[in-house]
Amino acid sequence: MDDKIDKNECCPPSSCCKVESLVTVDERGQMVLPKEFRERANIKPGEKFALVSWEKDGHVCCITLVRVDDLSNMVKDFLGPVVNQIWK
């Protein structure tokens, strides 16, 4: 398999990603995630997500949602060793 990343692509294809469905932004700027996806992803009403974006040529080309709890754990995992090194 070719592991090269095309520098012209904003979000290189990966085996972990797939198109789940198409969503529409309404006149209030809201989007609805399909019920089947929310159930499969165990997304509950009121749950918080961080919106992460990627830009290419000054335009947002990709967005993703990350559960706040997962994001907090990622930050702790990343910064924990750094902080430990500083305090040694």
Q: What is the CATH number of the domain that holds 33?
A: 2.10.260.10
Distance between CA atoms of 75 and 59, rounded to whole angstroms? Answer: 26
Specify the pLDDT at position 15: 58
5 inside domain: no
* Residue 34 domain-assigned (yes or no): yes
Residue 1 lies in a domain: no
pLDDT in tens, 31-78: 999 999 999 999 999 999 999 999 999 999 988 898 998 888 878 777
Host domain of residue 88: 13-88
The pLDDT score that the predictor gives to residue 43 is 95
Q: Mind listing the pLDDT tens digit for each residue in 8-37?
A: 656 665 656 788 899 999 999 999 999 999
- pLDDT value for 22: 92
Better pLDDT: 61 or 84? 61
Domain-embedded: residue 57: yes
Count of structural domains within the chain: 1
**pTM assigned to the model:** 0.62
